[in-house]
Amino acid sequence: AQSVTQPDIHITVSEGASLELRCNYSYGATPYLFWYVQSPGQGLQLLLKYFSGDTLVQGIKGFEAEFKRSQSSFNLRKPSVHWSDAAEYFCAVGTNSGYALNFGKGTSLLVTP
Amino acid sequence: DGGITQSPKYLFRKEGQNVTLSCEQNLNHDAMYWYRQDPGQGLRLIYYSQIVNDFQKGDIAEGYSVSREKKESFPLTVTSAQKNPTAFYLCASRPGQGNNEQFFGPGTRLTVL
């Protein structure tokens, strides 16, 4: 069964600084990978997804992620963080034979002035 | 506007009472899901349904029940058998095979007093 690990529970960055959120997955074949963002008390919004092809994926709000098969990773990056990026970020993995997604436990991002 | 609606936003119930959370989608999606979210736990799958009149248990189905009588609706009942029902509940839907992306509703926060 596939699984997802987000090693960082909390991350604090200064506004304008770069950001990288880590995600590691466990799955034998090529997975479907997702990053979602959640503001407090809200549902989840899809930032970006990887199914196949180019391993560098561009998403909304200036985010990107890179799929690295050798490292079983799908880290999320943003070159310059805005205060509005403060939220909870979830990495998720799915497969082409299954219907459900497995979610990581999330990383809470705090942005300081 | 197409989307997923969950009602109510906040729900309070006394211990021992059953309660039903509503989830409706007008996206014409085949699959629907219920997740439970607790602080630091990420999203855990309760039930999912791939087609009308069919549903499967997720990882934490005990104490919950669902129905899928219409494609648009997937209500979740939290029964008195659920030991710790206070949580944030998220409903999601997915178009169908070949596309794993899930779309989320705004969530319902259930508090059992």
CB of A35 within 8 Å of a chain B CB? The answer is no
Range of weakest confidence among A18-32, B11-25, B65-79: A18-32
Q: Is B107 in contact with A43 (Cβ distance < 8 A)?
A: yes
For strand A64-68 and strand A56-58, is the pairing parallel, antiparallel, or unpaired? antiparallel
> What pLDDT was estimated at residue B63?
96
Average pLDDT over residues A54-72: 95
> What pLDDT was estimated at residue B81?
87
3-state DSSP call for residue A15? coil
Residue percentage of chain B with pLDDT more than 90: 81
- Using an 8 Å Cβ cutoff, are A109 and A85 in contact? yes
CB of A106 within 8 Å of a chain B CB? The answer is yes
Q: Provide the mean pLDDT of chain B.
A: 92
> What pLDDT was estimated at residue B99?
63
> What pLDDT was estimated at residue A53?
86
The answer to whether the Cα torsion of B70, B58, A91, A50 is positive or negative is negative
Place of tokens 């979830």: A90
**Residues near B94 by Cβ (< 8 Å), separated by ≥ 6?**
A99, B29, B30, B31, B32, B33, B100, B101, B102, B103
Q: Which of B45, B101, B109 sits opposite A46 (nearest CB)?
A: B101
Instruction: Give dist(CA B61, CA B48) in Å, integer.
Output: 10
Would the pLDDT of A12 be above 80?
yes
Which residue of A44, A49, A57 to mutate against B (max B Cβ within 10 Å)? A44
Instruction: State the count of interchain CB pairs (< 8 A) between A and B.
Output: 53
CB of A27 within 8 Å of a chain B CB? The answer is no
For strand B64-66 and strand B10-13, is the pairing parallel, antiparallel, or unpaired? unpaired
Structure tokens at A12: 């604090």
Range of weakest confidence among A56-70, A71-85, B14-28, B97-111: B97-111
State the distance between the two ends of chain B, measured CA to CA, in whole angstroms.
Answer: 35
Alpha carbon separation from B60 to A30, A102, B46, B85, B104 (Å, rounded): 27, 13, 5, 11, 19
Distance from CA of A57 to the nearest CA of B (A): 15
**Residues near A18 by Cβ (< 8 Å), separated by ≥ 6?**
A77, A78, A79, A80, A81
Q: Which residues of A touch B30 (CB under 8 A)?
A: none
Which residue of B32, B101, B110, B111 to mutate against A (max A Cβ within 10 Å)? B101
Q: Which residues of A touch B105 (CB under 8 A)?
A: 43
3-state DSSP call for residue A69? helix
- The alpha carbon of A57 is separated from its chain's Cα centroid by a whole number of angstroms, namely 11
pLDDT tens profile B30-85:
999 999 999 888 899 999 999 999 999 999 999 999 999 999 999 999 998 888 99
